[in-house]
Structure 1
Amino acid sequence: MKNILVTGGNGQLGQSLQNLANAYPQFNLLFTDYQDLDITDAEALAAYFSARQIDACINCAAYTAVDKAEGDEDNAFLLNFQAVLSLAEICAQHNAQLLHVSTDYVFSGKQNVPYTEKDDTDPDSIYGASKVRGEAAAIGYNPDTIVIRTSWLYSEYAVNFAKRMQELMREKQELNVVFDQAGTPTYAGDLAKVILDILQYKAVNPDAALGGIYHYSNEGVTSWFDFAVAIKEMTGATTAVYPVTSDKYKTLAKRPAYSVLNKEKIKSTFGITIPYWRDSLAKCLKNK
């Protein structure tokens, strides 16, 4: 049985991994959050790895308060860059596979075709810039690191767009939602399964050179407005949902106008099939 450290275990991806743990009996998933293990503390990381035989680490921990990061740059880079570098170093020292989760915010959103892993990063926010640095640090120090960029993550857990829309639709008669930002929602349950399948693939093919960046989201393209309308339809809510442009909804951090990810690399490398976003949304809403 392989010991898999999961950081950020109380977040929505961490909880989605917890939900799947019994389906992967070959893995002993060790879930931690900042109360248990402060990944910004290199000495704490070294002590944790020394006390256990860690075979892989899934880094779900991140500074994800996108707007807050604009005024809190030091802490955003501490968690999204320095801590990731420390994880890459400790994983390399212990011959443990590092799988690090990143984001579509590494792109500016100025192009109009799906982003591939080879496209240049060009973040327009502190959050995005900190995630770019984390990716580069992890792969630069430890080329075996697997980075998975994802987008518009939601689930039954923690705080996310799908849960917030359901709350607002119970409270309000009308909602305005931006329609000029295009991307793809990603159900955390689907991403969690792919992560565990990749680690399973690596366990069966230990000599395979898999390090690098991969993109994963559900299939399809939509807007935040259409995402909200789908939630309304699937839950039977009666709230009126209206489309508005981004300039009517001011935020501190600039969001990518287009952040659709090309998933051909991850599909061809690991032989996976990716569900359509509406199908996964329906599954999530039934699980609430």
Structure 2
Amino acid sequence: MGILDGKAVVVTGAGRGLGEAYARHAAAEGARVVVNDVAGAEEVAGAIRAAGGEAVAHEGSVADPERAASLVRLCADTYGGLDGLVNNAGVTHFAHPWDDDPAVLRRVVEVNVLGTLYCGTEAARVMRGGSIVNVVSGAMLGRADAAAYSASKGAVASLTLSWAGALAEREVRVNGVAPLAWTPMMELDPRRDGISSPGQTPDLMAPLVTYLLSDLSRAVTGHLVRFLPDKLHLIAQYAVKQPVLEREAWDVPAIAEAFAGALEAEPPGATRWRV
């Protein structure tokens, strides 16, 4: 018996890396899984079946709204419904702002933001109860030389909380996870040596996603969860920071005084995204 017995789950970007780990772990806990990716989906689905699980493959980019819709339909048609969606598909990009290529920026937004939106909105049409797990990143707090990626993950964090509120009446939970593991995507990161090591494998991240897909998390929604092999904590979404200064009117000298004192800002390039 597994904690996901009988549940039908879609995992995007599951042909390798973190998505593959999420799909395999969910299947091992009894989920019937639709494995999506632009490549490798059939191999992962086949491996799940060979291990005694249930899985079907879906090939295509979630950045295409028709492919995203067909992904949800495949799950509903094959397994009779949709109980869980893991929006894992994503691409990364690192560049100085002055070197950014508009075509690359568009691709990051289309896959990371629109792909998540397309799959989530299709899932919302059919789900009554269940769980959506969006994959965000610590970079959503702002990382130098990763503007498009940071912005895309910040957008996914915001839509996570929006969906959590909107889907509560349908008893659909929505949470975001910010994992840290060594994946093929990590090879592109110029700071990879200081972020993770090959020992931090994707399978270490999978239990959190399985938990959020399960009924054990029935009271958990609207959270952004940071998960490292040795750390688990929540991340606050944007909120008013204290102190809140009040005056009857603000002129330039008063504003300058505030920023030189009580509102002294953190310097650019702060690495709090690594926590």
Q: TM-score, normalised by structure 2?
A: 0.59
Comparing 6-15 with 47-56, which one deviates more in the overlay? 47-56
What's the offset of the Cα at 1:100?
A: 0.9
Question: Residue 193 of structure 1 aligns with which residue?
Answer: 207
CA distance in 1, matches of 2:269, 2:149: 10
Does 2:68 align with 1:45? yes
1:232-243 mapped onto 2 (5 Å cutoff): none
- CA change 1:80–1:18 in 2 (3 A) is closer
Counting aligned pairs with the same residue, the percent is 14
The alignment partner of 1:215 has SS state of strand
1:132-211 mapped onto 2 (5 Å cutoff): 132-143=154-165, 144-151=173-180, 153-155=181-183, 158=184, 160-161=186-187, 186-200=200-214, 203-204=215-216, 206=218, 208-211=219-222
Q: What one-letter code is carried by the residue in structure 2 that aligns with 1:196?
A: T
Question: Residue 136 of structure 2 aligns with which residue?
Answer: 102
* Contact 2:93/2:146 (<8 A) preserved: no
What's the offset of the Cα at 1:184?
A: 5.8
1:117-128 mapped onto 2 (5 Å cutoff): 125-128=147-150
The alignment partner of 1:259 has SS state of helix
Does 2:65 align with 1:60? no
Indicate which of 65, 89, 107 corresponds to 1:75.
107
CA distance in 1, matches of 2:145, 2:93: 15
Q: Which has the higher contact order (CA 8 A, sep 6+)?
A: 1
* Contact 2:27/2:33 (<8 A) preserved: no
CA distance in 2, matches of 1:15, 1:255: 32
CA distance in 1, matches of 2:164, 2:122: 10
Question: Residue 170 of structure 1 aligns with which residue?
Answer: none
* Contact 2:91/2:108 (<8 A) preserved: yes
What's the offset of the Cα at 1:6?
A: 0.7
Any runs of at least 4 consecutive aligned residues in structure 1 with deviations exceeding 6 A, and if so which?
none
Q: What one-letter code is carried by the residue in structure 2 that aligns with 1:214?
A: V
Comparing 60-69 with 29-38, which one deviates more in the overlay? 60-69
CA distance in 1, matches of 2:100, 2:138: 17
Indicate which of 32, 36, 42 corresponds to 1:32.
36
Q: After superposition, what is the alpha-carbon deviation per residue over 1:4-40, rounded to whole angstroms, capped at 9, x for unaligned?
A: 1010011311222344355312x11211103513212
CA distance in 1, matches of 2:21, 2:92: 17
Q: What one-letter code is carried by the residue in structure 2 that aligns with 1:132?
A: G
Greater radius of gyration (CA): 2
Does 2:151 align with 1:129? yes
- CA change 1:210–1:141 in 2 (3 A) is closer
CA distance in 2, matches of 1:63, 1:101: 12
Question: Residue 225 of structure 2 aligns with which residue?
Answer: 214
